[in-house]
Amino acid sequence: EVQLVESGGGLVQPGESLRLSCEASGFTFSNYAMHWVRQAPEKGLEYISVISNDGGRTYHADSVKGRFIISRDNSKNTLYLHMGSLRPEDTAVYYCVRDRRVVPGAILSWGFDPWGQGTLVTVSS
Amino acid sequence: IVLTQSPATLSLSPGERATLSCGASQSVTSSYLAWYQQKPGLAPRLLIYDASSRATGIPDRFSGSGSGTDFTLTISRLEPEDFAVYYCQQYGSSPITFGQGTRLEIK
């Protein structure tokens, strides 16, 4: 069974940092591009970041560029999101998502499937 | 690309047909459009990709259609478990964008 399990969320103060992790199982992690998507409370979905299967290419949305960094460790089947200079508007559930297709080296997408259960990040003083 | 979903809320009864719309501010490359279902407290689930292809395990009462700037998700006969929020997403152009969602509620 394909599984994505996020961890690392919690309550932090504005300006602080946090690292989210996403442990993958049930598939060959190193074959797939991986994404982060967030959802603020009672709001819609916002695309954050993507990393190619080999970690060689990344993309970050303008809303997090320069503050968040996506990375992966294929030897540990784990995706990360390093979050710095956190703001109250970063408060959201953060989802780890696998791309639907295997396309080596790409950061394009063919749909998101499956999604992890999400981890809540709350930024508040 | 800005995606606009309509209606914002759709009130229907089980057994009825649901039609959800997603309009794009510019043409979606290669019909790279997906639909997701999200139930309260759960992660979204892929229903449709490439505008009209059903994802694995999705019942055939769900169908997608459209091209260019106009896309539709149709649920032919609503089951109680179909009442949820539905999002469209385009992945043909960077940045990937989502619509604001349509809430499908029981009438």
pLDDT for position A25:
98
Chains A, B: CB contacts within 8 A come to: 58
pLDDT in tens, A2-42: 999 999 999 999 999 999 999 999 999 999 999 999 999 99
d(CA A28, CA B31): 28
pLDDT at A108 over 90: no
B44 and A45 in contact by Cβ < 8 A? yes
pLDDT in tens, A82-97: 999 999 999 999 999 9
Mean pLDDT of chain B: 97
User: Looking at this protein, which amino acid is placed at residue A59?
Assistant: Y
Chain B residues closer than 8 Å to A100 by CB = 46, 49, 55
pLDDT in tens, A37-83: 999 999 999 999 999 999 999 999 999 999 999 999 999 999 999 99
- Lowest average pLDDT, out of A35-44, A72-81, A102-111, B55-64, goes to A102-111
Q: Is A24:A95 a contact under the CB 8 Å cutoff?
A: no
Query: Which of the four pLDDT bands, split at 50, 70 and 90, describes residue B30?
Result: confident
pLDDT in tens, B66-82: 999 999 999 999 999 99
pLDDT for position A96:
98
A47 and B44 in contact by Cβ < 8 A? no
Residue B29, min C-alpha distance to chain A (Å): 12
